[in-house]
Amino acid sequence: MRNYRKHEIRQEMIALRKQMSKEQVEVLSEKIISTLTKLPIFKESKSIMLYLSFDNEVDTFKLIQLCKDLGKNVIVPFCIDDGKRIVPTEIKSVEKDLVKSSFGYLEPKAELVKPVSTESIDLIILPGLAFDRGCFRVGFGAGYYDRFLSKLCFTIPTIGLAYDYQILEYIATEEHDMPVDYVVTDSRIIIR
């Protein structure tokens, strides 16, 4: 892929993701999750913040259930439009604790939103439309994750999940862009 500007990257990656079949998403997500769960950083983490996948993103719902089965605390983002903030919120059950937002993605029920201290989070797993070999990411452009990550203690490891086609050689970054520590794809692990 050529060196595109971010809005071009977003358009292309959204189009590529839309072309994926449910079977492709399932098979590739299982490969990615299998690789992720073998990493020592995942095994050692007791409290994991994960995104709630939608629209052919790497599927995290089986991973959430696996985390629950392993006795890990599961924390998910609750996005507040005012200030474009993420509030880390613990959930106990995907079926009982989540509702569809006005934008069509799942989020914690408003009455369950009680901010979890970021100091109690051992690992953050986040999405991206694209990543580069330096572990910088392109999201949807609203800056929720960049703002959230910029306020964290840098000892919390971060992992981006992506399909291999979402890996670019280089993404032009801006001062506010925050890299992740690892990117796990269906064929490789990239370490910053």
Confirm whether 104 is domain-assigned.
yes
Domain that holds residue 59: 6-191
Q: Which residues contact 1 (CB under 8 A, 6 or more apart)?
A: 12, 168, 169
Confirm whether 187 is domain-assigned.
yes
Confirm whether 1 is domain-assigned.
no
Dump pLDDT digits (tens) for 3-55: 458 888 999 999 999 999 999 999 999 999 999 999 999 999 999 999 999 99
Binding-site residue positions:
6-10, 52, 57, 137-145
Q: What's the whole-number average pLDDT of the chain?
A: 90
Mean pLDDT for 157-184 is 91
Mean pLDDT for 136-157 is 81
Confirm whether 100 is domain-assigned.
yes
With a cut of 90, say whether residue 176 has pLDDT above it: no
How many separate domains does the chain show?
Answer: 1
Dump pLDDT digits (tens) for 68-100: 999 999 999 998 877 678 899 999 999 999 999
- Angle, in degrees to the nearest 10, between helices 61-69 and 22-38: 40
Confirm whether 120 is domain-assigned.
yes
Mean pLDDT for 161-170 is 95
Looking at residue 181, which CATH number applies to its domain? 3.40.50.10420
pLDDT at site 2: 46
122 or 152: whose pLDDT is higher?
122
pLDDT at site 139: 82
pLDDT at site 174: 77
The closest of 96, 46, 54, 62 to 79, measured between CA atoms, is 54
With a cut of 50, say whether residue 1 has pLDDT above it: no
For the entire predicted model, the pTM comes to 0.91
Mean pLDDT for 141-160 is 82
Q: Is 152:178 a contact under the CB 8 Å cutoff?
A: no
The closest of 64, 63, 16 to 35, measured between CA atoms, is 63
Binding-site residue positions for substrate:
52, 57
pLDDT at site 3: 46
Binding-site residue positions for ATP:
6-10, 137-145
Residue 49, φ and ψ in degrees, nearest 5: -95, 125
